[in-house]
Amino acid sequence: MSWFGAEVNGPLVLTRAIHFAASATTAGAVMFCVFVADPALRQSRDGGAILQSRMAALTWTGLAVTAVTGLVWFMLLTMSITGLGSREAITSGAVLTVAGDTQFGLVSEVRAAFALVLAACLVLSRYVVLRWLGLAAASALVGAIAWTGHAGSTLGELGILHLTADVLHLLAASAWIGGLFGLSILFAVGRRRSAFGWEQLQLDAVLRFSALGMISIAVLILSGIVNTWILVGSFRALLVTDYGQLLLLKIVAFVLMVGFAAVNRFWLTPQITLTTRTKTHANALSALTRNTLIEIALGLAIFAIVGVLGTLHPAIHFMN
């Protein structure tokens, strides 16, 4: 498979992209529940229960996809390293060798442990302390991905900076993208509810997510600058290398997401704040729902690009 003139492993890229999206959705859904849905909807028992049920389904689905694609990723990488087929990789013991003797194998085992902790916390989510433990496990599950990529192979103090920036980047992306899925579910629940006071509770959730989203965008920009400086190094490398060109495409998609987020925050949210149960309110809410779905689509496109970037040599390697 060739993309931008670079040969890439199609199955590995697709698996990585789906795995990143599922991991981010899982962690983001947990963050949305803890920071947005639970505090905003605690006064609406029925509405909160409906939303909680659907968010639980989203989280479980994301966790299941994360687990399956994680196993597929591990097998594909083992096959790539050893040159063996899937059956030979298992029967020869190559899988155990990769699991025990490589950084990727160790990180995969640690992430599997975090996934099990998260699953246990989801089962026992009625206990508040376990919701916070679940948040920590979900954050660790997605943050540990940093050790499987370029940041995990950067040495010295620069490596510490790179890993820190990458972990923050992953967490912020999860809070935003996963939160958008939660927001779309919130809107879907809201369309089916006409109980008095629900609109105000829904608005409270929108405002809370807006604050979370702005923090996420700020962290994404700052950590993205650090990562770009480490992996690309110069504006010329951004333009003339396959890695840089794909990164530019990712930046364009991100800028479009920020644009829609800005419209949501500074134009549509004030409209639903000032008017309730009116045509203007309904139109603004409809536009907010549409923009949220567009942001999700752009976010998934970014994950596809990230799936490719992780298989390419960083641009800075070709400019020295």
- Taking a C-beta distance cutoff of 8 angstroms, is the pair 54, 189 a contact? yes
**Cα first-last separation, the chain:** 27
pLDDT for res 267: 83
In the chain, the number of structural domains is 1
40 Cβ contact list (under 8 Å, min separation 6): 201, 202, 204, 205, 208
Domain interval for residue 17 = 2-318
Sign of the Cα pseudo-torsion (222, 226, 227, 233, in order): positive
| Interval 125-150: pLDDT, tens | 888 889 899 999 999 999 999 998 88
- Taking a C-beta distance cutoff of 8 angstroms, is the pair 77, 98 a contact? yes
Residue 1: pLDDT band with limits 50, 70, 90: very low
Three-state secondary-structure class, residue 84: coil
Query: Is the predicted pLDDT of residue 18 greater than 60, yes or no?
Result: yes
- Taking a C-beta distance cutoff of 8 angstroms, is the pair 26, 164 a contact? no
Burial per residue of 278-287, b for 16 or more beta-carbon CB atoms within 10 angstroms, e otherwise: eeebeebbeb
Does this model's pTM top 0.85? My answer is: yes
Query: Is the predicted pLDDT of residue 7 greater than 70, yes or no?
Result: no
Helices (H), the chain: 10-32, 38-41, 45-82, 86-91, 94-101, 103-123, 128-143, 156-191, 198-231, 235-240, 242-263, 269-274, 279-309
- Taking a C-beta distance cutoff of 8 angstroms, is the pair 134, 90 a contact? no
Residue 285: pLDDT band with limits 50, 70, 90: confident
Output the CA angle 118-119-125, nearest 5 degrees.
80
Three-state secondary-structure class, residue 311: coil
pLDDT for res 111: 95
Output the CA angle 271-276-279, nearest 5 degrees.
75
Closest to 187 in 3D by CA, of 259, 295, 300, 65: 295
